[in-house]
Amino acid sequence: MTNSLGDIQKSKAIIIFGSNPAVNHPVGFQHFLKAKERNNAQIIVIDPRFTKTAAKADIYAQIRPGTDIPFMYGMLNIIFKNGWEDKEYTDARVFGMDKIREEAAKWTPEVVADVTGVPAEKLIQITNIYAKNRPGTLIWAMGLTQHTIGTSNTRMAPILQLALGNMGKAGGGTNILRGHDNVQGATDMGCLSDSLPGYYGLAEGSWKYFAKQWGVDYEYLVAQFKDASWMTKTGFSLARWWAGVQNVKTDEKIENAGTFLKALIVMGNGITSVAQQAKIKEGLDNLDLLVLADPFVNEAAILTDKKDNVFILPAATQFETSGYVVATNRSAQWRYKVVEPLYESKPDQEIMFELAKRLGFYEQYTKGMLMVETPEGKLAMKDKKAFTWPEDATDEIARIIKTIGLTGWTAERIKKHTDNWHMFDEVTGAGMGPMKGEFYGLPWPCWTKTHGGSPNLYDTSIPVSQGGMGFRNNFGLEKDGVNLLAEKGSFPKGSKIETGHAEVTKANIEAVLGITLTEAEKAAMGANWKVDNSNLIVQKCMEAGVCPYGNAKARAIVWNFPDHIPMHREPLHSPRTDLVAKYPAYADKANHFRVMTKYISVQSAKDYAKEFPINMVTGRLVTMNGAGIENRASKYIAALTPEMFCNIHPDLAHTHGIKNGAMMWVHSPEGTKIKVKAKYSLSVLPDMVFMPFHFAGYFQGTDRTGNFPAGTKPYASGESVNTVTNYGYDIITQIPETKGGLCRIEKA
Ligand SMILES: Nc1nc2c(c(=O)[nH]1)N[C@H]1C(S)=C(S)[C@@H](COP(=O)(O)OP(=O)(O)OC[C@H]3O[C@@H](n4cnc5c(=O)[nH]c(N)nc54)[C@H](O)[C@@H]3O)O[C@H]1N2
Ligand SMILES: Nc1nc2c(c(=O)[nH]1)N[C@H]1C(S)=C(S)[C@@H](COP(=O)(O)OP(=O)(O)OC[C@H]3O[C@@H](n4cnc5c(=O)[nH]c(N)nc54)[C@H](O)[C@@H]3O)O[C@H]1N2
Ligand SMILES: [Mo]
């Protein structure tokens, strides 16, 4: 999220792609409604379903799943044709908008209407409203990401905002409504198999930096791998780990150093929330060891037939421990323990510490918490023997993670913010009284121990010391002879440098900032601001009003991705076979998170739409969360949604003889099926069904709830929709295509 929920109150138009905040972010959605009250903000919703959010919109477009790129190019087509783009802004701050303009020219409202199903007049009306009411904010969530082209979708949306000059503006930006309360924190901390914490790349230099910061030998880290080459390779993803298990039937080659995955430890994932349950079941069945650390009985234990070496560890909930979490707008909030862990449950960190002890790396694992930076740029040990949880962990993160500017996130400061939450403005997040000069939760980048946080990313209208910045210089200085740095005149307010500049390093700092370093400063300074234990680079930048990461252009062209600019590609299972030849899927990709991943070979294998003519959309309900066990194990919450169901248009149901409330089968192109209750709804078109993914316990028509240990069976169980969500994974992130698939239905 570039801005914040409160900042949405400043928007004059709000366009929502594939997000249903009235249901999934009902508290945050109040800011949208306040924008309406304050500015008469126009709310525009683009969703295949008429959602509760759509019901609050001024204008709604019922789009075919997976066609948001054509829709946005269609908007750009109209914007460019009418000269509504912010040319001064794009010339100074964007690389490659000319290529976008060329592609947009192909997407006339008529072409867009054919591909997306949204009438041309509606596209024109929406574009008019959105372009003429600035600043406009663009919202997205899972409706854009859960596709094979998810990454292209998430590039397309900022491009639209850049064209309109809406990025880096209060009331503008791209505001992605994230999922779990701490999902931003989880990604920031490296719960990803393709980066180290803080998005430090999987490169030797990063490993060496972390070895130093953790107080362990680099060679010790190397020794944990088969050989050093595996340290720079992406690991398996949550979506496809099962392909790495021996005896799982798949023709998809894995590249895992000639060996297989043997053990799986699950902490905080439901497993039944992941696509291709039949394959996941095979993966679980064939593991040597399965450990499920969860406050509830994780339903992976119910799905598998594995009888030995399955351990269910009682994890404490987040109410039984403390530490900070990161909100969707990059701000931190302290969470105090409410009660001591109940019974024999343990908080996650204690489970991990116990594991580290048994596996013999407890000292290496925890040593970093006892280290500090000295002003001379050195690392020293704190004056105590044992660490204090979670304060020392928090300070360790602040010390090490410089890439996204966590230096200012000390335990002391974060607690002070949470304790004084009433001293901050609801809209701007700006502090008052004792909190003056700081923004609530110190939204990152929070460059120094006194910096107040950055409420809106890429905002050049305020000084860097108050959260201002240009775009990041991360991809070189020029590409094909074109300057990648911001043009002259585009710079954060008060900057000593009034033009674009490279990220600041020890080698260029004197030239870039026009300063002379003392010998002592030179000796203390790290090679660049991301690895500088002295923090001198950042400090000097702050003094000059300059952003340490440079001042560059945003790139519309990503030359290292398969599609240099976002391109429309039909879902792997497309209801429009006639469009597949024109907009085909990617080439199959070997070694994608260690697993060969299919695109065109699946898409071109057959005309799926003939046999599976119905679009299948999956998503969320306001009464339930994620894999659903937390709700279904509660007697009273379970009563709100006691059964798994399928939203179906009465016209479609009628043609299959399915009565409202009757059972029906949903079949997938992979040959799997689920039995669910039909629930008539006019929110879906007659060529589409919608199912929530919050149920588990049944598998392809069979009741597996007898597998629950005595006394743990939840009050509600049902089929997981992920048994029938289709094969398909994003080309960059490997997120499953759970928002674009096909199915066939049948009366049960
Ligand atoms: N009550 C509740 N709240 C939650 C959660 C929960 O489980 N329950 N989960 C949390 C989590 S982890 C997350 S990630 C967020 C997710 O929040 P959302 O992304 O809002 O959740 P979804 O309901 O999965 O999907 C949003 C919408 O995308 C639409 N959609 C599907 N395909 C397309 C498409 O191709 N294009 C467009 N434009 N729209 C499409 C769907 O119809 C749906 O209405 O919610 C969080 N909040
Ligand atoms: N078909 C389909 N599938 C989807 C999606 C979709 O839209 N459609 N959305 C996807 C998305 S965006 C997400 S985020 C996932 C969500 O899916 P999951 O991540 O599986 O979601 P949750 O149910 O929130 O949490 C998983 C488990 O964490 C446990 N848990 C809760 N608190 C703690 C704790 O403090 N410690 C430990 N160790 N465990 C805890 C819960 O009991 C639960 O078993 O689903 C994905 N799957
Ligand atoms: Mo999520």
Q: 208 CA to middle of ligand 2, Å? A: 33
Ligand 2 mutation pick, 24, 154, 187, 273, max ligand atoms within 8 A of CB: 273
CA 580 to chain centre: 28
**Is residue 646 a contact partner of residue 679, using CB atoms and an 8 Å limit?**
yes
Q: What is the pLDDT of residue 205?
A: 96
- For the chain, give percent helix, strand, coil, nearest 5: 35, 15, 50
With a 6 A CB cut-off, is 277 part of the ligand 2 pocket? no
> What pLDDT, in 10s, does the model give residues 95-106?
999 999 999 999
Q: 622 CA to middle of ligand 1, Å? A: 10
* E strands, 459-521, in order: 478-479, 482-483
Q: 627 CA to middle of ligand 2, Å? A: 5
Nearest ligand by distance to the CA of 18: 1
CA 504 to chain centre: 28
Work out which ligand 1 atom sits closest to the CA atom of 46.
Answer: 38
User: Do the two domains 183-423 and 608-747 of this chain adopt the same fold?
Assistant: no
Q: Which CATH class is domain 183-423?
A: alpha beta
Work out which ligand 2 atom sits closest to the CA atom of 183.
Answer: 14
Ligand 1 mutation pick, 64, 183, 620, 647, max ligand atoms within 8 A of CB: 620
Strands 310-314 and 289-294: parallel
Q: What is the pLDDT of residue 122?
A: 98
CATH architecture of 6-176: 3-Layer(aba) Sandwich (3.40)
Q: 2 CA to middle of ligand 2, Å? A: 25
Work out which ligand 1 atom sits closest to the CA atom of 18.
Answer: 39
With a 6 A CB cut-off, is 626 part of the ligand 1 pocket? yes
With a 6 A CB cut-off, is 257 part of the ligand 1 pocket? no
Average pLDDT, the chain: 97
* Lateral strand order in the sheet of 42-46: 59-61, 42-46, 13-17, 136-140, 174-176
> What pLDDT, in 10s, does the model give residues 447-484?
999 999 999 999 999 999 999 999 999 999 999 999 99
**Is residue 498 a contact partner of residue 514, using CB atoms and an 8 Å limit?**
no
Nearest ligand by distance to the CA of 65: 1
Work out which ligand 2 atom sits closest to the CA atom of 272.
Answer: 20
Q: What is the pLDDT of residue 589?
A: 98
CA 461 to chain centre: 28
Q: Which residue is listed with tokens 């530490």?
A: 323
Cα–Cα dist 425/416, whole Å: 16
**Is residue 325 a contact partner of residue 333, using CB atoms and an 8 Å limit?**
yes
Amino acid at site 42: Q
**Is residue 702 a contact partner of residue 719, using CB atoms and an 8 Å limit?**
no
Q: What is the pLDDT of residue 462?
A: 97
Strands 741-747 and 614-619: antiparallel
Atom 42 in ligand 1: residue holding the nearest Cα? 49
Q: 625 CA to middle of ligand 3, Å? A: 10
With a 6 A CB cut-off, is 615 part of the ligand 1 pocket? no
Structural domain boundaries in the chain: 6-176, 183-423, 608-747
Q: 620 CA to middle of ligand 2, Å? A: 12
Q: What is the pLDDT of residue 375?
A: 81
Work out which ligand 1 atom sits closest to the CA atom of 65.
Answer: 35
H-helix or E-strand spanning residue 697: strand 697-699
**Is residue 269 a contact partner of residue 238, using CB atoms and an 8 Å limit?**
yes
Atom 46 in ligand 1: residue holding the nearest Cα? 179
With a 6 A CB cut-off, is 297 part of the ligand 1 pocket? no
Pick the CATH number of 608-747 from 3.90.180.10, 3.30.70.270, 1.10.10.10, 2.40.40.20: 2.40.40.20
Start-to-end CA distance of the chain, whole Å, equals 44
Q: What is the pLDDT of residue 181?
A: 87
Q: Give every residue of the chain whose pLDDT is below 50, as ranges.
A: none
Q: What is the pLDDT of residue 545?
A: 98
